[in-house]
Amino acid sequence: MIQVRPHILDASALVELFSGHQTLMRLLDDADAGDRFVIVPTLAIAEAQAVLNARQSHWDRILGVRSLLTIDLSPHVAVEIGRLAAPRLRWHPVHTPLAGPLMAAQVLHEAQMLNGVIVTRVPDAYRGHDVAIQTI
């Protein structure tokens, strides 16, 4: 049985893992052997993929490791994450609240998949994409 604290990889660690970082490769090997738990939040996967543009097969190899768990973003966790992120976004010089790139990408993806209308106060986040936008 695994009795060490889980290692939770952020997007930067995932990018390093794809680059063959030796410590992270050993950590992944330990997880594959069942000696450690590795946790990967789905938002970390999304942010890393935005940098890596990796093939799905490469992700499948990493995410298929035996003791690696992905953590989806549930509505309740999303509320807590928003609370934690608020102080950083409030004064961030690049990302403004209500227009974060990952949120916008998810909304854009859903609009494209469902042929939906994006309802927003920040239409510039979606300009240049073939989607319907309703500005409020």
Distance of CA 65 to the CA centre of its chain: 18
Instruction: From first to last of the 136 residues of the chain, give the pLDDT tens digit.
Output: 556 789 999 999 999 999 999 999 999 999 999 999 999 999 999 989 999 999 999 999 999 999 999 999 899 998 888 888 887 777 766 666 666 788 888 889 999 999 999 999 889 889 999 999 999 8
Alpha-carbon span 15 to 122, nearest angstrom: 30
What is the rounded distance in angstroms from the CA atom of residue 14 to the CA atom of residue 25?
10
- Residue of 1, 2, 84, 3 lying closest to 41 (CA atoms): 84
The sheet that has 68-71: what strands, in order across it?
7-8, 38-41, 68-71
The residues pairing with 18 across neighbouring beta strands, listed in sequence order, are none
User: Residue 57, class by beta-carbon neighbours within 10 Å (0-12 exposed, 13-18 middle, 19+ buried)?
Assistant: exposed
Distance CA 79, CA 105 (A): 18
Give, as one character, the DSSP assignment of residue 95.
P
pTM of the model: 0.79
